[in-house]
Amino acid sequence: MNNHFIRGVYAGSFDPLTQGHMYMITEGSKLFDQLIIAIGINPGKSYTFDIDERVDLIKESTKHLNNIVVETFENRFLVKYAEEKQCKYIIRGIRSESDYEFERTMRNVNGDLNSEISTVFLMPPRGMSEISSSFVKGLVGPEGWQTVIKSFLPDPVYYAMIKRFTVL
């Protein structure tokens, strides 16, 4: 690997992966030679999709991007994971003022732990700024939810959500 190879990391639980996440991944893939999608595992949290399903859904949703690697990490500071993977950048999405305040604080903590890894903030387009995994999961249930969530999810994730939540 030469010194000009630039690797970034984008981390989250991605439960489920949304179009907002896809925006971040697509933009990150343009910025770096390689973008690692790091799926965080929190043993105390209950998930809609288990870790293997999330890995598979992200791989399927990003197969058109040739510089994406999907990995998992657990019980680590993201900046330490980035350091181990030789990432020079962490990308984070900013949808609101509260996101900014939180991410700014995390950027400062990360900088204290490793000042050589920079955080890049990306802002999604207006139509995506309200999308979050929690928001999408909150739409599941009422009549017509299948139609409502379709525009918020990549196709592989949409079909997995339909399969997971449709009662026969």
The answer to whether 61 touches 34, Cβ cutoff 8 Å, is no
**Count of domains for the chain:** 1
CATH code for the domain in which residue 82 is found: 3.40.50.620
Q: Is 137 a catalytic residue?
A: no
Structure-token pair, residue 36: 């690692």
pLDDT at position 92: 97
pLDDT in tens, the chain (168 residues): 456 899 999 999 999 999 999 999 999 999 999 999 999 998 888 899 999 999 999 999 999 999 999 999 999 999 999 999 999 999 999 999 999 999 999 999 999 999 999 999 999 998 888 899 999 999 999 999 999 999 999 999 999 999 999 865
What are the residues facing 12 on neighbouring strands? 39
41 domain-assigned: yes
Q: Is 95 a catalytic residue?
A: yes
For residue 40, which phi and psi values (nearest 5 degrees)? -75, 140
2 domain-assigned: no
36 domain-assigned: yes
pLDDT at position 168: 57
Catalytic pick from 4, 30, 45, 64? Answer: 45
pLDDT at position 3: 65
Domain region containing 35: 7-165
Question: How many angstroms from the chain centroid is the CA of residue 116?
Answer: 22
Q: Is 64 a catalytic residue?
A: no
The answer to whether 106 touches 120, Cβ cutoff 8 Å, is no
56 domain-assigned: yes
pLDDT at position 2: 53
The answer to whether 47 touches 13, Cβ cutoff 8 Å, is yes
1 domain-assigned: no
42 domain-assigned: yes
The answer to whether 153 touches 136, Cβ cutoff 8 Å, is yes
The answer to whether 148 touches 136, Cβ cutoff 8 Å, is no
Catalytic pick from 59, 80, 95, 137? Answer: 95
Q: Is 21 a catalytic residue?
A: yes
pLDDT at position 130: 86
